[in-house]
Every structure is written in structure tokens, then in C-alpha cells.
């Protein structure tokens, strides 16, 4: 069973975790986990457990050839197309911890902000603003001309002039501070969204070439040591409930994993039962 974590779909939709059932198309795969289960439950040897699995697989193949279909209950069913090919039809599978989960949708921050309303300025107010601006510009020009043409020695007059300019500049500074609040908010918004995108996009599934599944840690460690001796320095394990998956390589796309799986089986026949695990 392969599992994929929750992922984002589009701009603001988040899909729940997904599960899928996979199988060996040749119906002859033995990952070791089923053998250990038979050995523990039935109290039989490794050889007898392996033979029991082989007999079950042979029985399924014979039923496929004779009845053209095999029903596996909640796991799905097999249907024989011709003498060489068969089709696996899966049923809807939901893990108990994922039951009831559905896609969630969130509104982007930009959609939560109310639209700014445009207020039309009356013509009388426009004329008043233009008149005040012209008067202020004329007064500033006169004061600048007086200061350039006549040296001022009186400190009191110099102080009054400086005070006049400082008071006159306060509204523009305040207006600039007020108008600067909105750009700061928009900058924070635009810089936060790429970080979320980078975090979610990094949660994509990976594809592992698994060579075996075990329940005993020592057996899994021996397999890792064997893979290291064969040149697979990145070999490691995936700890899952009641099982330990040993993998030789990992890739970000299924195509790369399938291609390297073929090469691994060709170069190392002892790993011919390896398969690709998406997680």
C-alpha cells in the first residue's frame, strides 16, 4: 500500500492524504513479510511458509485461467483478458485515520481585504486645494529670495523661519507615514505567500526502490550492509508500523525510479523481487 501526504491543488485548495493498493503483475512476488507472518502464526519453517505462498499463488493463477476472474473482497478483483494478460480492478480504499477527510479550501488574503471605495472630490474642494498649494509655493519662494538677498543676523528671526518650515513640513511627513502603511502590509503579504508555496511544493512524494520488507531489525541491518557492499551507499530504511522497508535508491519521479529498477534487476539478479514504493 502506497500513501501520499496531503497536498495543495491550485491556489487555495488542499486535498487529504491518499492511499493506493499495488501488486506484483506476475503474482509471484515475495517480500518476506508474509513468510514471517506464516512462520509466527502457524509455527512452521521458512521453507514451508514459502511453499504455502507459492501454492496460493498457483491456485489464483489456475482460477484466473479457468474462471477468467478472481474476487479478493475489499482488495478488489482480477480479470483475465487473454492467456497472457489480466486486469486488476481496485475498490475504493480509505485508511481508518483518513476516514471523513475531504478537500479544504481557504480564501487568499487578498480576497479578504475589502475593496477601497473611490470618493469623488467636489469641484469646490479641488479649487481650494489648488489655491492653497499656489499660496504656499509663492510664500516659500518669497522667503527663499529674502534669505538669499539679505544676510540675516538675528537669531530670533532665523529661529522663527526654521520653525515655520518645520511646522509646514509636518503634514507631508504624516501623510507619507500614513500612506506608507498600506505598501508595508502589501509587501508583507507578497513575501509571505512564496514561502508557503515553497513549503507545500517541497512535500511532494518520493519513489523508493525497495528490496525487502522485514519485521526484525537485525535482518534489515544485514540487508543494508549487503546493499552498501554492492555500491548502494544511499541504502537505508523506512520505519513503518510493524514493518521495516529497506530501499537501495530514492528518486523524485516514478520514471527515474522505474528506469533504475530495471537496471538494478539486470545488474543484481539477487534483487529481482525489488519494486517501486511511492511515499
pLDDT at residue 61, rounded to an integer: 84
Crossing angle between the packed helical segments 155-201 and 123-149, to the nearest 10 degrees = 130
pLDDT at residue 83, rounded to an integer: 66
Q: Flag whether the pTM goes above 0.75.
A: no
Going by C-alpha positions, the residue among 195, 199, 193 that lies closest to residue 11 is: 193
pLDDT at residue 141, rounded to an integer: 72
pLDDT at residue 80, rounded to an integer: 81
Residues of the chain predicted below pLDDT 50:
152-202
pLDDT at residue 258, rounded to an integer: 92
How many angstroms from the chain centroid is the CA of residue 68?
Answer: 41
pLDDT at residue 14, rounded to an integer: 82
pLDDT at residue 126, rounded to an integer: 59
Structural domains of the chain, ranges and CATH numbers in brackets: 134-194 (no CATH), 205-279 (3.30.70.1070)
HEC string of the chain equals CEEECCEEECCCEEECCEEECCCCCCCCCCCCHHHHHHHHHHCCCHHHHHHHHHHHHHHHHHHHHHHCEEECHHHCEEEECCCCCEEEECCCCCCHHHCCCCCEECCCHHHHCCCCCCCCCCHHHHHHHHHHHHHHHHHHHHHHHHHHHCCCCCHHHHHHHHHHHHHHHHHHHHHHHHHHHHHHHHHHHHHHHHHHHHHHHCCCCCEEEEEEEECCHHHHHHHHHHHHHCCCCCCEEEEECCEEEEEEEEECCHHHHHHHHHHHHHHCHHHCCCEEEEC
Amino acid at each position: 500500500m502506497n500513501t501520499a501526504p496531503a497536498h495543495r491543488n491550485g491556489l487555495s485548495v488542499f486535498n487529504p492524504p491518499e492511499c493506493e493498493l499495488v501488486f506484483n503483475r506476475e503474482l509471484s512476488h515475495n517480500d518476506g513479510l508474509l513468510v514471517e507472518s506464516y512462520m509466527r502464526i502457524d509455527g512452521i519453517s521458512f521453507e514451508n511458509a514459502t511453499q504455502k505462498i507459492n501454492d496460493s499463488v498457483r491456485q489464483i493463477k489456475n482460477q484466473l485461467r479457468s474462471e477468467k476472474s478472481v474476487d479478493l473482497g475489499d482488495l478488489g478483483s482480477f480479470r483475465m483478458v487473454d492467456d497472457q494478460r489480466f486486469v486488476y480492478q481496485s475498490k475504493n480504499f480509505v485508511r481508518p485515520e483518513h476516514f471523513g477527510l475531504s478537500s479544504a479550501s481557504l480564501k487568499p488574503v487578498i480576497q479578504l481585504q475589502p475593496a477601497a471605495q473611490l470618493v469623488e472630490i467636489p469641484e469646490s474642494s479641488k479649487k481650494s486645494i489648488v489655491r492653497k498649494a499656489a499660496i504656499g509655493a509663492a510664500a516659500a519662494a518669497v522667503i527663499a529670495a529674502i534669505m538669499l538677498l539679505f544676510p540675516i543676523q538675528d537669531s530670533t528671526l532665523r529661529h522663527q523661519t526654521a520653525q515655520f518650515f518645520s511646522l509646514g513640513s509636518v503634514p507631508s511627513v504624516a501623510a507619507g507615514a500614513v500612506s506608507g502603511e498600506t505598501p508595508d502590509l502589501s509587501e508583507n503579504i507578497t513575501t509571505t505567500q512564496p514561502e508557503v508555496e515553497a513549503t507545500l511544493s517541497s512535500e511532494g512524494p518520493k519513489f523508493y526502490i525497495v528490496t525487502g520488507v522485514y519485521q526484525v531489525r537485525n535482518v534489515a541491518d544485514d540487508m543494508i550492509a549487503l546493499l552498501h557492499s554492492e555500491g548502494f551507499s544511499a541504502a537505508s530504511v523506512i520505519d513503518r508500523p510493524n514493518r521495516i522497508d529497506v530501499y537501495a535508491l530514492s528518486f523524485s519521479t516514478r520514471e527515474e525510479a522505474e528506469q533504475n529498477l530495471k537496471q538494478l534487476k539486470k545488474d543484481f539478479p539477487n534483487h529481482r523481487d525489488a519494486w517501486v514504493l511511492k511515499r
